[in-house]
Chains A and B, each alone.
Chain A
Amino acid sequence: GENVEQHPSTLSVQEGDSAVIKCTYSDSASNYFPWYKQELGKRPQLIIDIRSNVGEKKDQRIAVTLNKTAKHFSLHITETQPEDSAVYFCAASTYGANNLFFGTGTRLTVIP
């Protein structure tokens, strides 16, 4: 099956700075890459996703980039705020499949 690696495992940034979380995947057939945010004690929530027919997608302060050749994708958060503090999970799948393969998570702390 797919193997997704995520780095770093923890990340601390000053409020207002940018944060970047990177994931690599192993299965070249994967073409769907969602990102989930999980606040402490809460359920994971989808924040953005990308299909492999595009290289970048933005939603306000959040963007995801995809490099299919290198098999890696990244989450970029600009102008970070304390409420961005959470654990972020990347995932990969083949669109239409029945499983998402998740990374191990990145704990982001935004320091006021």
Chain B
Amino acid sequence: NAGVTQTPKFQVLKTGQSMTLQCAQDMNHEYMSWYRQDPGMGLRLIHYSVGAGITDQGEVPNGYNVSRSTTEDFPLRLLSAAPSQTSVYFCASSERPIAYGYTFGSGTRLTVV
């Protein structure tokens, strides 16, 4: 039981490049989400999903896309990276289809230059 696995751990992108941050969980959790963590701002919700085929926007969705084709995977796509997207990204899951009792992944530190 690996919990929530995120890849990569570190990434440097050039402005305008695209990439996908991967998140997978093996706990059969219904709820999955992506947060970004910026200094002095806590964690902010980007997108979330309450089940396969169901996604919705959070507080800061602009510049990001998600999909949920399986219960296990919830990738986050940066369409055209900008320096403002430099951040640490965390994936979180919950056994209930709500924001409750999160299990976080280990994070991806992204730098956009």
Q: Do A and B bind each other?
A: yes
A46 to B58, CA, bound (A): 21
Which residues in chain B, 13-67, are within 8 Å of chain A measured between CB atoms? 31, 33, 40-45, 48, 50, 56, 58-59
- Tell me, in angstroms, the Cα distance from A104 to B99 when the chains sit together: 18
Q: Is there an interface contact between B48 and A100, defined as CB atoms closer than 8 Å? A: no
Tell me the complex Cα distance, A97–B97, Å. Answer: 9
Q: Are A102 and B101 in contact (CB under 8 A)?
A: no
Given contacts A1-B59, A99-B58, A99-B59, contact A46 B41 (CB under 8 A): no
B99 touches A99 (CB 8 A): yes
Given contacts A1-B59, A43-B106, A105-B42, contact A95 B100 (CB under 8 A): yes
Could you give, for residues 30-60 of chain A, a 1 whenever the CB lies within 8 Å of some chain B CB and a 0 otherwise? Answer: 0010101000001111100100000000000
At the interface, is chain A mostly helix, strand, loop or mixed?
A: loop
In the complex, chain B residues whose CB is within 8 Å of the CB of A97: 98-99
Find A103's partner among B42, B50, B56 (CB 8 Å cutoff): B42
Q: Please determine whether A89 and B104 come into contact, CB atoms closer than 8 angstroms.
A: no
7 A-B pairs closest in CB distance: A102-B42, A43-B104, A102-B43, A100-B99, A104-B42, A99-B45, A43-B106
Chain B residues proximal to chain A, CB less than 8 Å: 31, 33, 40-45, 48, 50, 56, 58-59, 90, 98-102, 104-107
* Residues on A facing B (Cβ under 8 Å): 1, 4, 6, 9, 32, 34, 36, 42-46, 49, 89, 93, 95-100, 102-105
Other contacts beyond A43-B90, A43-B104: 9, CB < 8 A: A4-B42, A46-B101, A93-B99, A97-B98, A98-B48, A98-B58, A99-B48, A99-B58, A102-B44
